[in-house]
Amino acid sequence: MQKLLAPGAPDPAQKDGLAHALRARQAPRSPGEPHGSRPEPASAREMEAALLSRCASVARQAPPIANDPREAHVFRLAAMLIQFQFPCESRRLASASAQYFTDHPDDGPMAPDAVVRRGWVSHLPRLRSMLALELGSPARRGPRLLEQGVSEVARRYSTSAGIQAMPSNFLFHTQTALANGLRELFKQLAERLSLSRPMNVYLAGGMAVHLYTGNRVTTDVDAEFGSRVLIPGDLIVEVALEDGRPVPIYFDTNYNPTFALMHEDYLGDAIALDWGLEQIKLHVLSPVDLAVSKIARFADNDKEDIAALVGLGLTTADAIEQRATSAIGGYVGGLAMLRLNLRDAVALARGMEGCKPPNGAKPRAP
């Protein structure tokens, strides 16, 4: 894989780390030192590339070491961002960060938004995507859902902790740590934007699946806004999950529903969620539209999301097939692969319809 290290950037394996390399660039020239004998001062892009390469290097090898406060704080943030996609690499980064803070107690860990405001990280979605690109394909968490068979998928989701059968008049899971963090994120957004009138927001992606299932964990928020807004880059809420793991919750400013398979009525059919936020009118994509939105990409987590929604009785294979077929006319992209994904998604959903809820599980009260 091609390295993202810019020409002239510090060697990521250099013992003294990024700070030493940058100090060497910025030190005054000695008398008689010829011009051009050393690199020019590092640009912001070079510094970003060097730090990214350091993250990737530490993530791949043990024992990891953070050399300065900037590395320690960025390693900690990077570990939170990739913990579900690259769990082993995440643990190494977290270990490097924790060891630094143990050795330097006066430099205690900062909140993620403070790291961004310091300028050490410019954009969380960018850091996550570039680091994932640098690390390559994530370690597989197990056989792909369709390879292991529909019966195995059904078994996994019928026995998953915390998942119960839900009636048609369901309740959203709004009391989880992730949901509380999401509400705080929207609250801070309204305050930062100084909204003078209510704004419609439509929630999609993994966070929407979490509100339906209480089981999906994600850090980025896929949201579509009813008005033009500029999301502050340092708008981040850190929460501790029920198992104690810290996660940063932030808006994925790269989210664009145009690239997903969406029915023309997906906004009108979204379900309102009253969170008591005066200026934010939140709507969650309906279960069937949420499932349909997963078909174009159809990665492993998309398959898991479809399985969970169908396994809970929130949508059906027939509903997904009809909705998706109706939406194909407005899809922007290759139709051949889309139709194959749709076929597999419907097959997965049909298998999940035979899934039984856990023994003794009762529907949530309306």
pTM for this model (two decimals): 0.78
How many whole angstroms separate alpha carbon 105 and alpha carbon 101?
Answer: 5
Residues with Cβ within 8 Å of residue 305, at least 6 apart in sequence: 206, 209, 216, 290, 291, 294
Q: Along the chain (366 residues), what's the average pLDDT of each consecutive run of 10 residues? A: 38 42 44 47 79 90 83 95 92 94 92 93 90 73 42 47 42 93 97 94 97 92 95 95 95 93 96 94 97 95 94 95 96 93 96 63 34
pLDDT of residue 210: 96
How many whole angstroms separate alpha carbon 62 and alpha carbon 54?
Answer: 13
How many whole angstroms separate alpha carbon 307 and alpha carbon 325?
Answer: 19
Question: Between the CA of residue 117 and those of 106, 112, 120, 154, 339, what are the distances in Å?
Answer: 20, 9, 8, 45, 44
pLDDT of residue 355: 62
